[in-house]
Amino acid sequence: MKTLGELIRPGFIREIGLAPSTGGRRPVMYSIPRIGMHDLSNNILFKVETHELILEDNADCLRELTNLIKAFISDSGIGISKILGVGIGMPGFIDVVKGVNYSYLHIEGNSLVSYVGNELNLPVYIDNDSSLIALAELRFGAARHTKNSMVLNMSWGVGLGMVLDDKIFRGHNGFAGEFSHIPLFANGKLCSCGKQGCLETEASLTVIIEKAIQGIADGKLTKLKGLSIIHLDQSIETFLAAVNHGDKFATELLSSAAYTIGRGVAILIHILNPEVIIISGRGSLAGKVLQAPIQHALNEHCIPRLAANTIIRVSELGMNAQLLGAAALVMENFALDENPEPGNRTEPAYLN
Ligand SMILES: [Zn+2]
């Protein structure tokens, strides 16, 4: 019989570069999975690994990914019997009950969760990356001690994790929170979802990088260079660093996108009356720059009586949010398995 103190919870995060939302060019799609392992006191037990996986025309992608996790566990030197489970966070349309991601990593005749679980001989849980970020904020970050909060996952798209009445709200099938695809614009721009004029066609970090590349080509005065939509991950890092070093062009691009996001946040406030809006995900690395334009949009588009009750916070979890969320997902399912009756539910030990 394992005691809680012996249990280890690995968190496993996938981040996937998406095709540009404006159509036309189609980059090689790749993923940058990050793999980490946490104990019940939230210590990182083994170095976080990142890898690059080619998704396009790669039928073996899920197998390669599973092998990476196997190798990670093996290298950690921690026995499989001490591992509580594997949490997977990834973008896409995910049915958390069936353990299926309808957008990525299909596997014939099997669910992603069953396949990985059978290969690793461990329980596996999957959730949308934005919901996991919200879970991390709820348990460890800026949403702690709040009951109703909206967590923006500023990344390749503009994800949303919702905490309603102290719980992650996933909707009927887990598809809730597709904030990125609110049809806000009549701009005729094709979105990655196939529709036109969605929020992310103007405000995602992908689009910001595209605009920066165009601006550089047009001779804008900036220190930014070496941006590429193919190597989106590195480009976002370069761009956010430029913002934090005060590059005027980069700051203006990000501020403009943040104002657009603020228009979407105004809709959230009108419908859901949250206590706090949290800027999380990769964009939180330049969160202070995002904060003011979002507030400006709320001043212009939100009914003052409603907006007055909602504050904007910047996450302090940074790039750790998704891994923490994946680890928390394992713990929450463990707590459910151990205490299935509502009356028997206890808070996981790591929350105390
Ligand atoms: Zn869309």
Q: How far is the CA of 227 from the centre of ligand 1 (A)?
A: 24
pLDDT, tens digit (0-9, with 9 covering 90-100), for 300-329? 999 999 999 899 999 999 888 999 999 999
Q: Rounded to the nearest whole angstrom, what is the distance from the C-alpha of residue 182 to the centroid of ligand 1?
A: 7
The alpha carbon of 39 and the centre of ligand 1 are apart by a number of angstroms equal to 38
Do 323 and 38 meet the contact criterion of CB atoms below 8 Å apart? yes
Domains by residue range for the chain, with CATH = 4-128+320-351 (3.30.420.40), 142-316 (3.30.420.40)
What is the model's pLDDT at position 14? 45
Q: How far is the CA of 190 from the centre of ligand 1 (A)?
A: 8
Backbone φ and ψ for 315, nearest 5 degrees, come out as -65, 145
pLDDT tens profile 147-190: 999 999 988 789 999 999 999 998 887 788 999 999 999 999 99
Q: How far is the CA of 1 from the centre of ligand 1 (A)?
A: 48
Q: 210: CA distance to ligand 1 center in Å?
A: 17
pLDDT of residue 163: 96
Rounded distance from Cα 183 to ligand 1 centre (Å): 7
SS3 (DSSP) at 55: coil
Low-confidence ranges of the chain (pLDDT < 70): 1-30, 55-57, 336-352
* Structure confidence at residue 11 (pLDDT): 52
CA 132 / ligand 1 centre spacing (Å): 21
pLDDT at 12: 52
How far apart are the CA of 117 and the centre of ligand 1, in A? 32
CA of 50 relative to ligand 1 center, distance in Å: 28
DSSP code per residue over 110-150: S-HHHHHHHHHTS-EEEEEHHHHHHHHHHHHSTTTT-SSEE
Rounded to the nearest angstrom, the distance between the alpha carbon of 200 and the centre of ligand 1 is: 7
Let me know: does 31 contact 156? Beta carbons within 8 Å.
no
Kindly give the distance from the C-alpha atom of residue 162 to the centroid of ligand 1, in angstroms, as a whole number: 19
Distance 169 CA to ligand 1 centre (A): 21
Structure tokens at 184: 């806000």
- Cα of 21 from ligand 1 centre, angstroms: 8
